[in-house]
A = this chain, B = another copy of it.
């Protein structure tokens, strides 16, 4: 450690003068329309606790997102031990809005990172792995739900199964990258399948959710099995937005960045990309869809080639992923901390929750191993593929939080018990994967990427 630098009197005077002046200005600063102080307090606290929690988990080689959730769980449950100083943080609309923008950025990043060419290259294997990896845990989850939650309706069990479907692309990719295996055959199959099963899981969830909404609608018979018109409306809406997003969105992205490239000045790439993301999210919302649908679609249709003129102008040739990283680094942890704050620890004291959580986790881990059968071709380490598909992450939590807003026969589809169990499942599946993958793959020479 070097000794602290000697502070010269001139510097003290200058700093003192600046601070005095700014402080005095502040004293006269009047009152802005919004009280920003609770927002600033909440953001400072959330940022520090998110990083401390993340570091705790990274120290043991685990993903940071678990620590962010834990930080949220701690903040959100301090009331249980009589500490109520942070209770006000739970009801700040501005912080909630920041979290919502954070999850928009996350799905925009996932959309941008979706390398469809790489996925198409491992073709049959990835698709088969994905299909098997969605069906098996979903059926097992359905069974577990039927066993533990006997009073619930059939559609609610299907919803619980659907939360087990999707492997987390982000966590999987990050673990493989950390292991230096993302370019291996196994790595590419896992990544490709993770993207496809994400999509399949969302599709299943959408159909199940649509059926639940139809069944829960006024005038509809409770628990009707297959409401074809309800599904048709969902699919019709989805297709309508799909056409808009793919055809018009691709055209709009190209036109937008062609326009932006003609404009002088700095910061064009980021601002127009964010505006594009916000606009498509807004259109999705106007069509009755969730804004995150729009941001993911915006990321998918926005291609690097659209903005290569703008990128060439940047002295450091930064791409969008690079520019988005600080924004996501600021706001995405806010989303996960707030998500953790939604976990009510007191439900674990209720009988059956821990058992249900354990059974759900086993269903998620064991069920996913069925996908190993789908990895075709000689010399592929099928066991490694199965292990790599275990982690559930953001998507499972997003599903669970959607389930909390749905009602079936007057009951929430995902009640506190199920929500807490899903959080446990996400935490455990994400926790066990890195050590298992390290155990399976370490010592093997990193696989050379094969020609497609």
Contact = CB atoms under 8 A, between A and B. Distances in A.
B285 A36 contact: yes
Contact of A282 (B37, B100, B266, B296): B37
Given A17-B199, A47-B272, A97-B34, A27 B234 contact: yes
A19 to B, nearest CB: 4
A64 B50 CA distance: 36
A271 B27 contact: no
Contacts of A16: 242, 246
A290 to B, nearest CB: 3
A330 B270 contact: yes
A199 B17 CA distance: 7
A237 interface: yes
Nearest to A263: B55
A120 to B, nearest CB: 5
A41 interface: yes
A248 interface: no
Contacts of A133: none
Interface string A57-91: 01100001000000000000000000000000000
Interface residues of A, number: 125
Contacts of A301: 15
Interface string A17-30: 11111111111111
Contacts of A32: 96, 100
Given A239-B20, A402-B28, A330 B329 contact: no
Nearest to A1: B258
Interface stretch (A273-281, A367-375, A377-385): A273-281
Interface string A78-114: 0000000000000001101100100000000000001
A393 interface: no
Given A40-B278, A40-B282, A44-B282, A24 B329 contact: no
B40 A329 contact: no
A293 interface: yes
A29 B289 contact: yes
Interface stretch (A136-144, A202-210, A221-229): A202-210
Contacts of A26: 241, 284, 288-294
Nearest to A395: B25
Contacts of A37: 282, 285-286, 291
Contact of A51 (B11, B24, B94, B268): B268
B402 A265 contact: no
Contacts of A267: 51, 329
A43 interface: yes
A43 B101 CA distance: 11
Contacts of A410: none
A28 B97 contact: no
Nearest to A22: B293
Contact of A238 (B20, B199, B260, B287): B20
A326 B242 CA distance: 30
12 contacts: A10-B116, A11-B117, A22-B292, A23-B245, A24-B203, A26-B293, A28-B205, A28-B210, A33-B96, A43-B278, A47-B278, A58-B265
